[in-house]
Structure 1
Amino acid sequence: MATLIIGNSRTAEMVGDLAALTPAQLRSGGCVAQRMLWFARDGDLLVLPFAPAPEYLTYVTGLTGTDPASLTIVVPPPGSLGADILTPDRLADPGFRDQLRRALGSRPPDEILAIYKDLSVAGLARALAAEAALPGYPFSAQAGDALVNSKAGFRALAAGAGVPIAPGTVVTRPEQALEAVTDLFDQGHSVMVKLEFNGGGFGNEILSRTAGVAPAGAPRVVVLPDRPAVLTYLEQRWEWLTAGRADKLVVERFFPGSTTVYAEYLIGDRGARLIGLGELLMEPVAIGAVLPAQTIDARTRATLLDGAQRLTDSLRVLGYRGVVSADAIHTPDGQVLFTETNCRLTGSTHVHLVLDGRVVDADHREKRVFLERGGWAVPSFPAAVERLAAAGLGYDPISRTGVVITSDDGDGTVDCCAIADALATAEEMHHKLGGLFAGER
């Protein structure tokens, strides 16, 4: 039973204009793709933008109990943006496809697991005669995944399903945006503008009439004291806000002091299964997550799950199959307002399905808190593993607690997930990491 695993992180519908990514961002995207090793089981095939470092491969498979020698890793030739991410032209390369057919042998894969099921992945499934192996192939082959990852499309889907969203609208022209922004300003609110396609908060900006608003969920706050200032901003930023006038723009009320929570599901033909519920850490954009969510009470949790279930039901009826994260904000006055759906493998899926499922077994998973943060500067991946072990912080398979390095980010930093029996203990582990890697930051 072989699974074909495709590490196509940083697609156009995940991060917007690929040509605008810096070399460092491209390399980071390729390193994120290496996290697909967490999902591998004996005999699987992986398509990755570049070969994983042997130390990282050994570390991950050692924790998941996978035989690394049983895995087949195929790397396509470089494409239009080089060799750091799996661009569509790399997945369409005839030589690569022939190599993949030889690796698969006489039969197609039993399943195809991709980070994002865009047209290039659907085309690859078709070329391998493996349409049945790609969940939701008919939907994905018609560019359906772009539809359900659009932040503009989300607002229509949520409104139609009766799911609460932030006050606002979707616009296609600068004059519409001007009226939408000034209307919210006139009501005394700050505004969040969102690119239709982007992630992690990097496609968002906060607009305010006055200074003093702290950014959260966006890199910066732009102060626009009056209507002429809003008009000037839109004239200057319209190309960026709409990806060269190709996309729609979301304009909605910004709620200062809110926390970002999410419910992640796996949608199949017969329904949707909840696989995790967590809270994103924002500084001011996403830098990590804690799960299960620790700051919401039972009533808020029930409200979150009710809205998320409505969204997953709608997505299933449309034909989407796979992982979906329904994101929401929990406002200071207790509202749960949904903000987007991410219909793809997310930055936390490996925690939900692998760390909290395979690494931590079923007898312990309900008793553990997972706190993951990125940006830990280390001298090297092997040195980081050695330091964790020497400090007694490395993951212990007996107690099912400790720190797991989930990703080597390729820029001298790693992501670390602390697994503990309580949030305070997980936070203390991260505090110790600060001392362990302090000289490297």
Structure 2
Amino acid sequence: MEHSAPLIVWANFFSDLAVDLPAHGVLERWAEQAPRKVWLMRPGDVLVTPVAPGPAFLDHACGLLDVPPGAVTVVTVPWTPGTTMAEAVERAGLTERLGALAAERPGARLLPVALDRSTVALASRLGLRIAPYGPAGVRASAVDTAYRLNTKAGFRAVAGELGIRVPPGRVCTGEGLSGTVRAMLGRYERVVVKPDRSAGGCGLVFLSRAAPVLGPLADRAPGSWVVERCLDVARSVSVQLLARPGAAPRVVHSGEMRTTAGSYTGYVSPLRGVARGTVRELERWGTALGRYLADRGYAGPYGLDAVVTADGSLYATESNVRRTATTTPGAMVERLARAAGCRDRTWLVAAGRTPSAHGFTDALRRLRAEGLDWRPGRGEGVVLYGDAPADGRSWRYAVIGPGHTRVAQIEAALARALAFEPPSGAG
């Protein structure tokens, strides 16, 4: 991502855009990934984050990015469950400090993870533009559309308008959930129950005629739900794009998602092993969605998730109108590869669990001892892109290399070097 004016990188993982705020356990897990936003920064930028990057990780990332030590500012925001990031800033008395940092950086823009209403309001109070919006600012319709398309029901409705194929399903309230499940199981052998506002596989429940019991879900009256036919999925895929009012949407990357029980666990790009016509259809759907967003004033990143069934059919499952789990790693890969003079890099992001806890310095030392760490001169290697995990064991990593075969070889060597435990499920 190129930018000339300073950025205030706003890691607002605590947002009501992707999931409802009461799901604070999910938000806390997502917020642990906030330090990775360092990969978007250049000298003079500010990172506002609920989780501070560790000193060793920050130094290492800045070294790979060729950013001088101390050239970026980090502001850590303590968070109270049930609040958005903007509300947490105000509760912590940090609004004035952010205003001062912005004033020291003429032309600075706020770069959020999610375009939620509280962020737009805070930016207005601080007199900050939100990237990539122009002087006219963010239209209310853009925010409303982002909220709508981060729901399953909203996406299904828009997909119908745009001719995007989705799995057979029904939208219902919590009070009607049990009846809807019974009706759907009367038609299909298996169904999946999805909270209307959820992401990353959060809250999915799989049911079948042999095991139709909703359990605790039967008591969850509030909110809306989607009950869909459970398809015979062969591949989970996605395309990530940029919406640009006044211009055609741009495809940034596509790839295959690694999943376990419907939950996202990793990503490999570019997409391969899928029929060319299927890839074109996926990108055509993503572009149609981008035009819909741009017409309503939305600008910036968004993604379209889909599945390829065993018979080769493509079905879209959800849209994510925000920065997704692959937006920042993809930008990091592009930036590192460009600096190394590499083109057409293959990359993946995933996670592995070590048998014992390690600090960031120790984990990096192990990679270097095996010659696996990213080195520009080689144009391949592993990047521990998300800092040391809170438990010291659940490591997120990226692998960059000159093709899928080489990337797979490096990932296997990484698993041996850090003694990753076998995965607990298929994916």
Q: TM-score, normalised by structure 2?
A: 0.88
Q: 1:133 to 1:388 in 2, by over 3 A?
A: closer
Residue 360 (1) aligns with residue 361 (2):
no
CA contact (8 A) 1:108 1:128 kept: no
Match of 2:350 in 1: 373
Distance 1:138 1:354 in 2: 29
CA–CA distance in structure 1, aligned partners of residues 127 and 92 of structure 2: 15
Quick check: 1:372–1:418 contact (8 Å CA) kept in 2? Answer: yes
Contact 2:84 2:118 in 1 (8 A): no
Name which of 218, 225, 240 aligns with 1:249.
225
| Cα distance between partner residues in 2 of 1:399 and 1:44 | 29
Counterpart CA distance in 2 for 1:276 and 1:295 is: 15
Once the two structures are overlaid, the 10-residue window that deviates more, 43-52 or 153-162, is 43-52
1:279 Cα shift? 0.8
CA gap 1:361/1:262 in 2 versus in 1, 3 angstroms: same
Give the equivalent residue in structure 2 for 1:167: 168
| Alignment counterpart, residue 384 of structure 2, candidates 397, 405, 419 | 405
Q: Give the Cα separation in 2 of the matches to 1:307 and 1:362.
A: 32
> Does structure 2 retain, via aligned residues, the 8 Å contact 1:91–1:124?
no
Residue in 1 aligned with 2:208?
Answer: 208
| Cα contact 1:289–1:348 (8 A) shared by 2 | yes
Tell me what 2:425 maps to: none
C-alpha change, 1:255 and 1:142, in structure 2 (3 Å) is: closer
Correspondence for 1:4 among 5, 8, 11: 8
Q: How does 1:390-429 map to 2 (within 5 A)?
A: 390-408=369-387, 409-412=389-392, 413-429=394-410
Cα distance, 1:339 vs. partner? 0.6
Asked whether the 8 Å contact 2:302–2:319 carries over to 1, the reply is yes
Q: Deviations over 1:397-435 (max 9, x none)?
A: 012101111112322122111112221221222222222
Map 1:335-354 → 2, pairs under 5 A: 335-354=313-332
Q: Hey, what's the Cα distance between the residues in 2 that align with 1:147 and 1:352? A: 25
Structure 2 equivalent of residue 261 of structure 1: 237
1:328 shift after superposition: 0.6
Give me the whole-angstrom Cα distance separating, in 1, the residues matched to 2:12 and 2:75: 13
Quick one: structure 1 residues 39 and 403, their matched pair in 2 at CA, closer, same or farther if it must change by over 3 Å?
A: same
Give, in whole Å, the separation in 2 of the partners of 1:396 and 1:20.
Answer: 38
Superposed CA RMSD in Å reads 2.5
When residues 305 and 363 of structure 1 are mapped into structure 2, their CA distance, relative to the original with a 3 A threshold, is: farther
Q: 1:439 & 1:269 partners in 2: Cα distance?
A: 45
Secondary structure of residue in 1 paired with 2:153: helix
Equivalences for residues 14-413 of structure 1 within 5 A: 14-18=18-22, 20-21=24-25, 26=28, 28-76=29-77, 78-81=78-81, 87-93=85-91, 95-105=93-103, 109-131=107-129, 133=131, 135=133, 137-139=138-140, 143-175=144-176, 177-210=177-210, 223-224=211-212, 229=213, 233=214, 236-240=216-220, 245=222, 247-271=223-247, 272-284=249-261, 285-355=263-333, 357-361=334-338, 366-377=343-354, 379-408=358-387, 409-412=389-392, 413=394
Q: Give secondary structure in 1 for the equivalent of 2:400.
A: strand
Separation of aligned partners in 2, 1:266 and 1:90: 29
Residue type at the aligned position of 2:157: A
Query: Contact conserved, 2:233 with 2:307, CA < 8 A, in 1?
Result: no
Q: Is the 8 A contact 2:143 2:298 kept in 1?
A: no
* DSSP 3-state at the match of 1:438: coil
Report how far residue 19 of structure 1 moved.
5.5
Give the aligned length. Answer: 409
* Corresponding letter in the other structure for 1:322: G
Cα displacement (A) at 1:205 = 1.0
Q: Kindly tell me: are residues 50 and 202 of structure 1, through their superposed partners in 2, closer, same or farther at Cα, counting changes over 3 Å?
A: closer
1:275–1:133 CA distance, 2 compared to 1 (3 A): closer
Deviations 1:231-264 (A, max 9, x none): xx37x41454xxx61x211111111333111110
Cα distance change of structure 1 residues 32 and 126 upon mapping to structure 2, 3 Å threshold: same
**For residues 37 and 370 of structure 1, what CA distance do their matches in structure 2 show?**
19
**How far apart, in 2, do the equivalents of 1:358 and 1:264 lie?**
17
Distance in 2, matches of 1:179 and 1:81, equals 33
Instruction: Give how far 1:184 is off.
Output: 3.2
What CA distance in whole angstroms lies between the structure 1 residues aligned with 2:254 and 2:342?
A: 13
**Post-superposition shift, 1:106?**
5.5
Amino acid at match of 1:58: D
Q: Quick one: structure 1 residues 440 and 298, their matched pair in 2 at CA, closer, same or farther if it must change by over 3 Å?
A: closer
Q: Which has more helix, going by share of residues?
A: 1
Give the superposition deviation at 1:306: 1.1
87-96 vs 393-402, greater mean Cα deviation: 87-96
Q: CA deviation at 1:8?
A: 1.1
Taking the aligned partners of 1:362 and 1:46, their CA distance within structure 2 comes to 22
Contact map agreement 2:241 2:251 (CA 8 A) in 1: yes
